[in-house]
Structure 1
Amino acid sequence: MGALISIDYTNDFVASDGKLTTGEFGQAIETEMVRLTNQFIDDGNYIVFAIDCHDDTDKYHPENNLFPPHNIFGTKGRELYQGLNDVYQQNKGKDTVYWIDKRHYSAFSGTDLDIRLRERKIDTLHLVGVCTDICVLHTAIDAYNLGYNIVIHEKAVQSFDQVGHKWALGHFKNTLGATII
């Protein structure tokens, strides 16, 4: 059984005026993000929105020294980007749709994701979102280490770093044994 893990497809990571945007690269995958999410919803599959949640006053968080403030709790930048936000708003509250606030790159780090997946006997994770070489990659590595099968939807992942994006796609396949579709 599979679940869709939708990672960080927010205004700050995708909109032209986002604080840490993938810009046109991230915007180009919106149609596929929406299509896949609707397909998983229609099929009754479990969908997890694993979304960065930061506090710009947290002087201990390492990302605050690496990146400009982004996905700050309570801001428009943290909302899902355009069409994906519409899909989420129409389906939130369903027991097959779950939102995780994540503090680190991986959707598993410090969250109850693994417990929720195992309760539902889910063994395959379909990963989509941004950034391919950061949060999607770290989620995939943790999924691999926890024994999940990994599927990467190539037309639904993207990054602001195209060299990193291409490298991560190869790493998913050649090092983590992921299926790339």
Structure 2
Amino acid sequence: MKALIVIDFTNDFVDGSLPVGQPAIDIQETVASITQTYVDQGDFVIMAVDLHEANDPYHPETSLFPPHNIRGTQGRELYGDLADVYQRNQDSIYWMDKTRYSAFCGTNLDIMLKERGITEVHLIGVCTDICVLHTAVDAYNKGYGIRVFEDAVASFNPGGHEWALQHFAGSLGAQVIRSSN
């Protein structure tokens, strides 16, 4: 059994306060299409969405990045076509707040996947070399099979993006695949 984890595809990460920019804009239709396909197939679909509090002096990202994905802001809303997919299918998509790079860290994701008999996670979203990567590493360490859609992940760091794609396959045994779109 498989699950789709859609990671941080929000306004702030696409074209807001911490933007991936054009690479994320370029994949937005693919991200939305893949998500809709998994919903239509009845697969478990998770929106793993970064959550921060304004001016949080204790969060480690406060000193690393500009404020982003702040609770209650438009920047934290899903971007573009994905927002429409979520709006139409929110009864079939699980929204999960996360406060660290990995969707597994500090969440009940592992429990939810195990309850459903899921053995493989499919990953899309941003940033390839940060939140997607850390989620993939935790999935590997927890024994899940991993697929990453190379045409549905992006980063503001082109070198980091390419390195992460190689790392997924070479070090995590992930299948790096393309969508049929």
**TM-score with structure 1 length normalisation?**
0.97
Letter in 2 for 1:137: L
Aligned with residue 20 of structure 2, among 19, 22, 35: 22
Cα distance in 1 for partners of 2:4, 2:38 equals 7
Letter in 2 for 1:24: Q
Aligned ranges for residues 34-113 of structure 1 at < 5 Å?
34-94=32-92, 97-113=93-109
Cα distance in 2 for partners of 1:51, 1:157 equals 15
Shift of 1:31: 1.1
Q: Which residue in 2 is equivalent to 1:13?
A: 13
Cα distance in 2 for partners of 1:57, 1:30 equals 30
Cα distance in 1 for partners of 2:57, 2:163 equals 31
Cα distance in 2 for partners of 1:101, 1:39 equals 23
Does 1:135 pair with 2:143?
Answer: no
Cα distance in 1 for partners of 2:116, 2:8 equals 23
Q: Which residue in 1 is equivalent to 2:143?
A: 147
Contact 1:56-1:64 within 8 A present in 2 as well: no
Cα distance in 1 for partners of 2:66, 2:55 equals 12
Contact 1:3-1:126 within 8 A present in 2 as well: yes
Q: Deviations over 1:46-95 (max 9, x none)?
A: 0000000000221000000000000000000000001000100111123x
SS in 2 for 1:156: strand
SS in 2 for 1:38: helix
Cα distance in 2 for partners of 1:26, 1:130 equals 7
Structure 2: gaps (5+ residues): none
Cα distance in 2 for partners of 1:126, 1:62 equals 27
Cα distance in 2 for partners of 1:57, 1:161 equals 25
Letter in 1 for 2:4: L
Which consecutive aligned stretches of 4+ in structure 1 deviate over 6 angstroms post-superposition? none
Letter in 2 for 1:98: Y
Q: Deviations over 1:1-20 (max 9, x none)?
A: 100000000000002xx000
Cα distance in 1 for partners of 2:109, 2:120 equals 13
Let me know the Cα RMSD of the aligned residues.
0.6
Letter in 2 for 1:85: A
**TM-score with structure 2 length normalisation?**
0.97
SS in 1 for 2:4: strand
Matched positions, count: 177
